[in-house]
Amino acid sequence: MRDPNNFIPFSGVASRVGFGSGPGHVAPRLPEGGLRRAQNPGFKMKSLLGCALPALVFGLAFGAPEARAASGDTLREVKARGELVCGVTQGLDGFSLAGSDGSYAGLDVDYCRAVAAAVFGDAAKVRFRPLSSKERFEALKSGEVDVLARVTTWSMSRDTQLGVIFAATNYYDGQALLVPTSLGVSSAAELDGARLCTNTGTTTELNITDYFRRNGLGFELIAFEKSDEAASAYEAGRCDVYTSDASGLAAMRLRFANPAEHVLLPEIISKEPLAPAVRQGDEQWLNVARWTHFAQLNAEELGISSENVDQIREEQTALAARSQGNQEIQRLLGLGDDFGASLGLPKDWAYQIVRQVGNYGEIFDAPHGPGGALGLARGLNALWTEGGLQYGIPVR
C-alpha cells in the first residue's frame, strides 16, 4: 500500500480525468539544442513490419468471431461451476493488483466481486485470471473467463468485430504522456522526434500515432506486450515518453525509483471509456454485468453504503409493509417487485452487492481503488448529480 507521506501529486493533467489541480512538478522548458529530432520524421516502428503486421494479425485473429453464446448459457455455467472467473490486468494499482498473500484488490476486482455477490450471494466466489493486452479478448471469446474487467477501452471496432460486447463504462479515462523532468519539455508539441514507449494491441498505439501525425511530429514507436515491460524500458531511458491511460501512468509512476523525476504533460489526447466486457449473444449475462454496475451507482445516488444498508433495509421493510417509504430504495434492495427474476438472480441481488462490496463511491475511494491507491479525484467519474458522467439507470 502506498505511503501517503511519499505521494507526489501530478501537475498539469486535466482534472476532467480525475487529477486535481494544486501544486505539482512543472518541467522546465526545452534546453538549447532541443530534443533529438528523428532523421526521418514520420512514423517509425521498431520493426519494418510494425505497420503491416498488427493489421494482418487483427484480421486473422478477429475477422471471424467464434460462435456466440446462447442467452443464459453463461449464467448457467457460472452457477454450475460455483464460481465466477474474471479476467483482470497482470498488475495495476487502483484497478487490479495481487497482494503478497495472493488476494486481489482494486476497482475492477471489486466489480467482479460485486457480480459474484449478485449471482451467488457471496462476493468471495470469484477467481481472477491475469491477462495481457494481447490475450484478453481471446480469453473472453474462448470462455476461459466469464467477464473481462481489465481497464479495457470501449470502441466501435471492439464492440462490433471481436465477438464481445461492453456492459457499461466503470471508469472514464484519457490517454496521457509521461516524460522525465530532465527532458525539459512542458508540452507534447515539443516532442518532435521522440521515442515513445507503449503497449502493443491497445488503442494507445493507434491514438499516439494519430496524434503525432496530425500535429506533424516525427516519432519512433517502441511497443511492448506487457505494461511492466514498457514502463521498465521507459525508466531505463530506452524511450523519451511513456504513453498510456492517465490512470495507468499514475499507477506505474508510483513504482519508479524516483517518481518526482517524472511528470505528466497537460495534454489528454483521447477518450478512454474503460468498461467490463462479456461475450456477444448472451443477453441475460450482459444484463447481469451491466446492472451490477448500475446497482452500485444507484446505491451511491440514494445514499446507501455497505455501512448503512442493513439499517436502511430494516427501516424500509417496516415502511413498505404500510405502503410507505422510499420506493426507489425499496426496489433496489428487493423489498418491492422482484427485479432479480428477469436477470436470473435472487430478489436481493442488489442488496448483496452493496452489503458485501459497497456502492461505486466506496470502491473508487477504497485503499486499493483509484482514489485510495493513486490519490485520483473522481473527475468525470463523479455522479451526474456532482457534475460527472456516472449515471445509474433506474430500477423500475
Q: Under a CB-based contact definition with an 8 Å cutoff, are residues 292 and 126 in contact?
A: no
Ranges of each domain in the chain: 28-57+180-270
In DSSP terms, 306 is beta-bridged to none
Side chain identity at residue 15, one-letter code: S
**In b/e form, how buried is each residue of 321-348, taking b as 16+ CB within 10 angstroms?**
eeeebbbbbbbbbbbbeebbeebbbbeb
Side chain identity at residue 69, one-letter code: A
**pTM value surpassing 0.85:** no
Q: What is the pLDDT along the chain (396 residues), one digit of tens a residue?
A: 444 444 333 344 444 455 443 333 433 344 444 454 443 444 444 443 444 444 444 444 444 344 456 777 999 999 999 999 999 999 999 999 999 999 999 999 999 999 999 999 999 999 999 999 889 999 999 999 999 999 999 999 999 999 999 999 999 999 999 999 999 999 999 999 999 999 888 889 999 999 999 999 999 999 998 888 999 999 999 999 999 999 999 999 999 999 999 999 999 999 999 999 999 999 999 999 999 999 999 999 999 999 999 999 999 999 999 999 999 999 999 998 999 999 999 999 999 999 999 999 999 999 999 999 999 999 999 999 999 999 999 999
* 307 burial type by CB count under 10 A (0-12 exposed, 13-18 middle, 19+ buried): exposed
Write a three-state SS string for 286-322: HHHHHHHHHHHHHHHHCCCCCCCHHHHHHHHHHHHCC
Q: Under a CB-based contact definition with an 8 Å cutoff, are residues 131 and 141 in contact?
A: no
Report which of 29, 376, 375 is spatially closest to residue 181, judged by C-alpha positions.
29
For 288, the grid coordinates are 447481469
* Superfamily designation of domain 28-57+180-270: Periplasmic binding protein-like II (3.40.190.10)
Place of cell 422510499: 326
Rounded Cα distance, 292 and 393, in Å: 11
